[in-house]
Amino acid sequence: MKKIKLGIIGIGNMGSSHMKKILEGQCPEIEITAVADINPERIDWAKNEFPDQNITYFNSGIEMLDSGLVDSCLIATPHYDHTSLAIECMNRSIHVMLEKPAGVYTKQVKEMNAVAEKHPEVVFGLMFNQRTNCVYRKLRELVHSGKYGQIRRTNWLITSWYRPQNYYDSGDWRATWSGEGGGVLLNQCPHQLDLWQWICGMPVKVQAKLHYGKWHDIEVEDDVTAYVEYENGSTGVFITSTGDSEGTNRFEIQMDKAKFVVENNQLTLWEYEMTEQEFSKTSKSIFGKVKSTKIDVETDGENLQHVGVLNKWANAILNGGELVAEGKEGINGLTLSNAMHLSSFLDKEVSIPFDDELYYDLLMKKVATSRRKTVKITGFANADDVMESTKS
């Protein structure tokens, strides 16, 4: 079987997780030929963990890219390095799979996307593995079917990200402007922000209240409430936090002729007998409401997650297949998080598109005064959302 020759840059939590899955044979069209990490302890770990693999190790990502050993690269480094390393790959015609988020600020992601346009031979994908979840795939299919009219309101309450202080103390880059570039929006929520826009589209206005270090001794946001407006007049609310010990993950979409709720990995549909507009105009009752039928929506049950994204990417490289998420799409979710930050920085509503330069300047002011902690790494709380490298 023909295989791509993969190099991985960054074998911290997520990079090592991808490495294990591939070496276990879950990605039959991928062969790991090289790995790079600036932390020698991670290199030693990989050599001990996979002693019989024919893998060449590098302490520099650039050296690995210049080695001639790889034709594709998975980037699983801290956020600020995502775009620069992706560009290095593209300029060498090396295919790219980029871990989320696409970057820290939209200015750098636009630059990356511009380089990608110049290299159509490069297959550029993003690790938006939640798009493989059958529940969200089915929800998107139904919302976009045209059967239920337009979206009227969207609400996502995602507070099931609880983290104790020790989580933030486990790395000096964590929850700092200079290390991560943001908090819960940039670390925990990129998947939800991507799904939100993937299913509902991009809003045109954002007003957000962010609390910085409200529940923890950190400098970035750990509690967010954002209100958005869409071009057709519909509205949305996005609430997230890492401070609720018993949090909630509930996504609700109200449409002209239906209501959808995703909670506990179940998609429920209330299908209306007629549109709300039609009922409101014709009903003779002063307290009536549209008759509806509650349906527990069936899906195909498939939820391939990271392995699904990697296998689709390999197939796209080898056979011209479709990606789960094209790399250029990463700017959309990041635009939402940047807009929320900018609204908070300015304490006012912002329009999308916003001023990329202004956001960058305000972020760099935060970075200039950012604190960095020096503490012993004591372990990670959750493998799905932590930073992807031990870089400090």
Chain segment 12-55, per-residue pLDDT in tens: 989 999 999 999 999 999 999 999 999 999 999 999 999 999 99
Q: How far is 121 from 94, CA to CA, in rounded Å?
A: 9
Per-residue tokens: 135 = 């529940």
Per-residue tokens: 85 = 């390393």
**How much is the pLDDT for 171?**
81
Q: Token pair 């002209």 is at which residue?
A: 256
**How much is the pLDDT for 390?**
31
Which string of b and e fits 128-145 if b means at least 16 CB within 10 Å? bbbbbbbbbbbbeebbee
Q: Domains in the chain and their CATH numbers?
A: 4-128+304-326 (3.40.50.720), 131-300+333-368 (3.30.360.10)
Q: Determine the Cα angle at 367 with ends 365 and 373, to 5°.
A: 145
**How much is the pLDDT for 362?**
98
pLDDT tens digits, 358-379: 999 999 999 999 987 433 322 2
**How much is the pLDDT for 372?**
72
pLDDT beneath 50, residues of the chain: 373-392
**How much is the pLDDT for 211?**
98
Q: Which residues contact 120 (CB under 8 A, 6 or more apart)?
A: none
**How much is the pLDDT for 383?**
29
Q: Sign of torsion, CA 214 241 341 364?
A: positive
Q: How far is 211 from 224, CA to CA, in rounded Å?
A: 6
**Global pTM value:** 0.93
Query: Distance of alpha carbon 338 from its chain centroid, rounded?
Result: 13
**How much is the pLDDT for 381?**
28
Q: 3-state class of 294 per DSSP?
A: strand
